[in-house]
Amino acid sequence: MKKHTPIYELANQRNATFIESDGWQVVYNFGDVDAETAVARTHVALCDQSHNGKIRVEGKTAAAMLDADHLAIGQGDITIYGDLYRLRQDMFFISASAEGAASSAASLARQANDSADLITVTDETHGNAELWLVGPNSADLLSRLCGLDFDDSQFPDGAAKQSSVAKAKQLIIRHDLGRQDFGALPAYALIGARSLAAYLWQTIMQAGQDLGIQPIGQAALRPLEPLPF
């Protein structure tokens, strides 16, 4: 059975081309891939990444289980399960690949069950959406919809904070694309309830019109991925 993200119908209305990613119907492009990549590099682009894996781990000893005692609240690190972020002393979020989410969640659940303490592992992939804002104007756009300070000094690459975006509760993760020494592009993931994703998508598109916002697909992101060392 094909899985649809909450943005599927909105993308279909724009005549998007879709590809399959671990059973999900994901936007490949909206027409001109080069133009979409250019928008991300020069203005701001909105991309649906709701197929990505999303795992939440909670418990007083969750940090020890995840080997994450070194992380301060709001900081992230790379693990075998995916990108790990500490949201509270006892709460962590893992951003995993679409194909790796189920196995990572199952592995973590087994570890939690073996623990003497109460640790809960929740796979939130289907219940939550994930929208990315990419480009030099992305922080300006977010500032119109959210009360956080998105200056690099306050919200650097690798940071994660929970807040309201257009009155919708979101986990905001900064994960710039490319390498800093090659001119990395600011990128922010907005992760929140699936039921509010279409509303948030439309609100962001409207708020960013004067900033040159355009929707993009997976093909436009590929040239922006981190470069090999």
CA pair distance 150, 165, nearest whole angstrom: 13
Residues 80-95 have a mean pLDDT of: 96
The enclosing domain of 73 has a CATH number of: 3.30.70.1400
| CATH number assigned to the domain comprising residue 154 | 3.30.1360.120
DSSP class of residue 160 equals E
Domain range for 61 is 53-123
Interatomic CA distance for residues 134 and 222, integer angstroms = 13
Give the tokens for residue 98: 């679409």
Q: Are residues 57 and 28 in the same domain?
A: no
Res 179: pLDDT: 58
Percent of the chain with pLDDT over 90: 89
Average pLDDT on 172-187 reads 81
Express each pLDDT in 4-57 by its tens digit.
999 999 999 999 999 998 899 999 999 999 999 999 999 999 999 999 999 999
Note the pTM of the prediction, 2 decimals: 0.94
Alpha helices, DSSP H, located in the chain: 8-13, 33-42, 62-65, 101-114, 138-145, 197-207, 218-221
**The pLDDT of residue 229 is above 90:** no
| Per-residue pLDDT tens digits for 188-206 | 999 999 999 999 999 999 9
If asked whether residues 133 and 20 sit together in one domain, one would say yes
